[in-house]
Amino acid sequence: MLNAKTIEIIKSTVPVLEVHGEQITTVFYKTMFENHPELLNIFNHANQKQGRQQRALAGTVYAAAKYIDNLEAILPVVNQIAHKHRSLGIKPEHYPIVGKHLLLAIKEVLGEAATDEIINAWAEAYGVIADAFISVEAEMYDAAANQKGGWDGFRPFIVANKIEESEVITSFYLKPVDGRAIADFKPGQYISIKLEAEGEEFTHIRQYSLSDAPGKGYYRISVKKEAGMQTPDGKVSNYLHSNVEEGEILHISAPAGDFFLDSEKKSPVVLLSGGVGLTPMVSMLNTVADLQPEREVTFVHAAANGKVHALKDEVAATAEKAKVNSFVFYDAPTEEDRQNNSFDAEGFVTKEWLQENVNLEQADFYFCGPVPFMKSINASLKELGVTEDRIHFEFFGPMASLEA
Ligand SMILES: Cc1cc2nc3c(=O)[nH]c(=O)nc-3n(C[C@H](O)[C@H](O)[C@H](O)COP(=O)(O)OP(=O)(O)OC[C@H]3O[C@@H](n4cnc5c(N)ncnc54)[C@H](O)[C@@H]3O)c2cc1C
Ligand code: HEM
């Protein structure tokens, strides 16, 4: 445990570090990768370039420091990050590397203001925070490996089917090469794929939510091709679309994540998705249809138009056999969409629409999609009085703030 003096130093320096937060983490990553280029096999290079990862890590270190004498208070956040770390294969031996470079970065950015007393206090505090992560992650590694069908690290899976779901989204059905059992998962959880592509200097790891219900003997992921923007085409999604055919092998870690449908509950559920954010929602939908067909579900999906609308027939078929109300929003419908009447509303999901169409008093809300979509849904739900304990969401990238 830290002594009172150290705690006081930490708490009094948090506001200063917060001001320099991103500068510190930017210096931190730069020097850490110079000294440990092997870590570029684990970190997502695009997230680094866009600064998303820097923001996420800085925010968490300061949040942890604020609660340094009561880390229990941030346990849900630790848990969420630990799931990601476990899925990526972050180990205890990585923590001192991060600690050393974080302290070096604090020194470099703060200059003389970073006295020995302050640096020593932060070294101690980092040790406490790192230990909290390491112990939560140890339990997760143990659970992942020792569950029925579980495993440690990355296990080879064969692509049993590759199915185009829309112009931009393709599903991959994955079965273990060893033919043995696979771990169960909760609807909403994800796996990580580690790609070792010819001609690439580093491995690239990405997360993909499982898009079908558990218990089927395979894992299905549905991947959007990230291409055609002003930025470089996405590495892994394009590789999967263009180079990975049926019969090929992908290495994946066991299912992870704290965003999942609570199948014990009987409350109505509202599943809202934008674009490829529908993958965890379809898993939840299919699970409810399998296990709780009497549970009331509202499935709301927003896409640009029919060309990019994935898993449409599957959702419609599931809606037929369970107690599901399904709504489709297109914000740029094509002529064909109009002729076929293939959507329910034009534009975006609004607060007014939610107010009229969903059970705001009792339902649990799950959502995922582009960050602006998530911000808008989150704000609407809060303004409509939905309590935080009934609001659940997933980011398809490093966590960010949904507040305005
Ligand atoms: C929990 C979780 C679940 C997910 N589930 C799914 C899912 O079900 N389906 C799915 O399709 N995706 C999912 N994702 C997203 C997925 O993990 C990948 O982020 C996505 O496939 C893009 O990876 P990529 O390698 O193709 O792109 P990357 O190479 O990682 O690039 C990502 C973006 O950054 C841009 N970029 C690249 N380089 C630069 C640069 N130098 N400067 C500026 N911008 C740059 C690219 O244009 C691209 O838009 C999920 C993510 C998480 C965290
Ligand atoms: C106490 C120390 C640490 C803190 C507070 C921390 C915090 C975070 C946070 C907030 C995220 C984003 C989670 C999300 O996706 O929402 C993250 C992801 C990640 N962390 Fe850590 N982390 C720590 C230690 C480490 C260590 C030791 C490593 C390995 C060297 C590591 C590697 C990663 C990687 C690779 C990601 C995925 C992000 C990406 O590639 O974009 N972290 N961490």
Helix (H, G, I), strand (E, B) or coil at 226: coil
Let me know if 48 is exposed, middle or buried by CB neighbors in 10 A (0-12, 13-18, 19+).
Answer: middle
pLDDT for position 403: 79
Ligand 1 lined by 337 (C-beta under 6 Å): no
Q: How far apart are the first and last CA of the chain?
A: 37
Please list the residues that pair with 176 across neighbouring strands: 157
Q: pTM for the whole thing?
A: 0.97
The string of pLDDT tens digits covering residues 71-90 is: 888 899 999 999 999 999 99
Burial 143-172 (b: 16+ CB within 10 A, else e): ebeeeeebbeebbebbbeebeebbebbbbb
Query: Phi/psi at 75 (nearest 5 deg)?
Result: -55, -40
Cα 96 to ligand 1 centre (Å): 28
pLDDT for position 54: 72
pLDDT for position 381: 98
Give the separation between CA 342 and CA 336, rounded to whole angstroms. Answer: 8
pLDDT for position 80: 95
Active-site residue identified among 29, 124, 126, 137: 137
Low-confidence ranges of the chain (pLDDT < 70): 404
Ligand 2 pocket: which of 22, 44, 53 to mutate (most atoms within 8 A of CB): 53
pLDDT for position 404: 66
Determine the residue type at 139. E
Let me know if 80 is exposed, middle or buried by CB neighbors in 10 A (0-12, 13-18, 19+).
Answer: middle
The string of pLDDT tens digits covering residues 138-190 is: 999 999 999 999 999 999 999 999 999 999 999 999 999 999 999 999 999 99
Angle at 252 between CA 209 and CA 173, to 5 degrees: 60
